[in-house]
Amino acid sequence: MPELPEVETTRRGIAPYIEGQEITEVLVRQPRLRVPVPEDLAERLVGASIGPLARRAKYLQIPLADGSATLLWHLGMSGSLRIARLGDLPKKHDHVDVVTASGYVLRYHDPRRFGFVDWQQGDGSKDKRLAHLGPEPLDDAFNGQWLFNLSRNKRVAVKPFLMDNQVVVGAGNIYAAEALFMAGIDPRRAAGRISLARYEALAVAVKEVLAAAITQGGTTLRDFVSGQGEPGYFAQQLNVYGRHGQPCLRCGSELRRITLGQRASVFCPSCQR
Ligand SMILES: [Zn+2]
């Protein structure tokens, strides 16, 4: 499933081909995505130019250069955006094309159709889907003090606390597990009973695992222009996620799997306290 690093890598990968380009055609082959593709999408887009791409959490924001509207694109469970060239034949599950005057085509592929594309007036910042999101993990607003302040008197375990989108966006199951391992914090520990110093270590760890994933995505997803189907999402070097029953890479203890907040959680009972 595309997580924040894949969405950020996608933004960086497609931006050079479509920013500043005029949209000449919009083709919707399958409108039944998680949110139906707006019927007036082509009418709204054709003739407009594309402004600088942004991202908020796992939403890719593609603004029109005149500021009148912004496309909000979510990749769902299995979606991907890549650049095709005019004349490249669509493959199965290539549902939407945004054709630009330069001949580059932004092409959306999504076998399970849990993703969507929708548009909002203006810069899109008033979209209700973005209204209650916590800070971006790589922004300065996300830090140990923020985690400490939000967690006081909270009895929820720290892992589901960290995975809450209102606390920080982008700390999905993989990254939360890896960051807690890196910070040496037991995922079961009550969020309200963790010290400021330990939250500072945790915030640094979250930033490190996500930044590493984005960097790795940048090297793995080099080729956004190809007829090779969807970009292959990358498998990061993981310390705990998916490794239950195997030895801890730090101390050799057997990694344990438990369920926390309905999600599988793997951790080292020796290194994480
Ligand atoms: Zn260990």
Is 3 one of the catalytic residues?
yes
> Whole-model pTM?
0.91
Query: What was the pLDDT predicted at 237?
Result: 81
Distance of alpha carbon 172 from alpha carbon 164, whole angstroms: 9
Binding residues for DNA: 93, 112, 154
Distance of alpha carbon 158 from alpha carbon 263, whole angstroms: 13
What is the 271 CA–ligand 1 centroid distance (Å)? 4
Distances 212 to 69, 166, 208, 236, 270 between C-alpha atoms, Å: 33, 23, 6, 9, 25
Query: What was the pLDDT predicted at 183?
Result: 98
Is 231 one of the catalytic residues?
no
From 56, 58, 107, 159, active-site residue: 58
Q: Does domain 144-267 have CATH number 1.10.3720.10?
A: no
Mark the ranges of the chain whose per-residue pLDDT is less than 50: 226-230, 232
- 138 near 210, Cβ under 8 Å? yes
SS3 107: strand
Q: What's the CA angle centered on 34, arms 30 and 36, to 5 degrees?
A: 55
State both tokens at 185.
């914090």
Give domain limits for the chain.
4-121, 144-267
Is 2 one of the catalytic residues?
yes
Please state, rounded to an integer, the average pLDDT across all residues of the chain: 92
Is 12 one of the catalytic residues?
no
Query: What was the pLDDT predicted at 235?
Result: 61
- A 10 A CB-CB count for 251 gives 10
Distance of alpha carbon 57 from alpha carbon 169, whole angstroms: 5
Q: Does domain 4-121 have CATH number 3.20.190.10?
A: yes
